[in-house]
Amino acid sequence: MAVPIRRAVSLVAAAVIAAGGLAACGANDSDSGSNGDGGDGGAKIALLLPETKTTRYEAFDRPLIEKKVAEICDDCEVKYYNANQKSDTQQQQVQTAITEDVDVMILDPVDSVAAEAMVEDAQAADIPVIAYDRFIKGADYYMSFDNERVGELQAQALVDAMGDKGNIFMLNGSPTDPNAAGFKAGAHKVLDASGVKIFPGGEYDNPDWSPDNAQKFITDKLASTDPSTIGGVYAANDGQAGGVIAALTGEGGLPADKLPPITGQDAQLANIQLILAGEQYMTIFKSYFIEADKAGEVAVALAKGEDVSGTTDYQGSKAFIFDPVVVTKDNVKTDIVDAGLYTVDEVCTADYADACKAAGLQ
């Protein structure tokens, strides 16, 4: 049974607001997230994350990295910064971390090109840099998922759901995000070889990955497009998927149970619920547990001057590349709940009770 979209979208908004609230409360405080004894002789690790619009950073990456560091290094201190999607702010934060004489940086860039100079500044101060989730040319280490593979999996799921025919809108990520380029390339590899076609003028590179921009783009397109002719929507992440759903079910739009297949990425809680309800078709889960654990482990090793093994090469950087997972309603239980991302109680709120029972969660 489909859940009213206003309720679903409000959950997405609540998650984003909650993340923003966390960021406002000391996200750029150099002492926030400290796990050590105040830095009296212990190693200092700078953790620089890019933004709060995507809920994963405050809800998962930050606490998981801090937890891993605390588990394996009693006298390590994590100094946390969030750039709130501003490259200039991130550059200032990198300089602050250098001034504070950190031993290693974990840097997820707002703008990967601009971040190249930040890496050079850190390395000039003998501070190794781990490019986290997004690649930065020249970084000492890089850890992320196979981004082209993510795009391929999203697009293949969409093609399969559409029966290899029909017209779609395609919403990509930010042009300044190197991961977005990988997702886009992988998706086009599948879409261009399929019978699925993109509406003329129907592809959009979304600045800041903004859900509001995604909603506006689709709303504007509906002025000249009958929503019943939309065979599917490639949305590169869950935030955009939420914006697409809000647009398609807006005034004069489609009923929630008549939506075309819509893709996503990040396995956000509200979107997992939308998948169970049949309003979003799929998402990609890139295990924050694996990525954050490895980041914390490598950062501590580098801070202590220890060797790091098991890497591969990625454009000249030592890298760890992980495998993404496709999530549909068929495997929410095994790959999301049983994996420990969310509990049954978190997923199966009152509005989603029937959908959870149908999926075997209750």
Asked whether residue 208 is assigned to any structural domain, the reply reads yes
> Residue 7: how many CB atoms within 10 A of its CB?
15
Number of domains, the chain: 2
Same domain, 252 and 139: no
Same domain, 197 and 227: yes
How far is the C-alpha of 284 from the C-alpha of 194, rounded, in Å?
21
pLDDT of res. 112 = 94
Q: Given the structure tokens 């399929």, which residue do they identify?
A: 194
What the block records as the tokens of 162 is 């559409």
pLDDT of res. 184 = 98
- Domain containing residue 44: 8-145+287-323
What is the value of pTM for the model shown? 0.79
Asked whether residue 3 is assigned to any structural domain, the reply reads no
Asked whether residue 244 is assigned to any structural domain, the reply reads yes
CB 340 within 8 Å of CB 326: no
Q: What is the CATH number of the domain that holds 332?
A: 3.40.50.2300
Asked whether residue 169 is assigned to any structural domain, the reply reads yes
Asked whether residue 1 is assigned to any structural domain, the reply reads no
**Mean of per-residue pLDDT scores for the chain:** 90
362 against 255, higher pLDDT: 255
Same domain, 209 and 353: yes
Asked whether residue 240 is assigned to any structural domain, the reply reads yes
How far is the C-alpha of 122 from the C-alpha of 116, rounded, in Å?
10
| String of DSSP letters for 229-268 | G--EEEESSHHHHHHHHHHHTSTTS--GGGPPPB---S--
Per-residue pLDDT tens for 57-114?
Answer: 999 999 999 999 999 999 999 999 999 999 999 999 999 999 999 999 999 999 999 9
Same domain, 94 and 185: no
> Which of 178, 58, 205 has its CA nearest to residue 112?
178
Same domain, 213 and 136: no
Same domain, 184 and 97: no
> Which of 284, 359, 273 has its CA nearest to residue 10?
273
Same domain, 214 and 330: yes
What the block records as the tokens of 247 is 């647009």
Contacts (Cβ under 8 Å, ≥6 apart) of 357: none
Same domain, 135 and 277: no
Per-residue pLDDT tens for 276-313?
Answer: 999 999 999 999 999 999 999 999 999 999 999 999 99
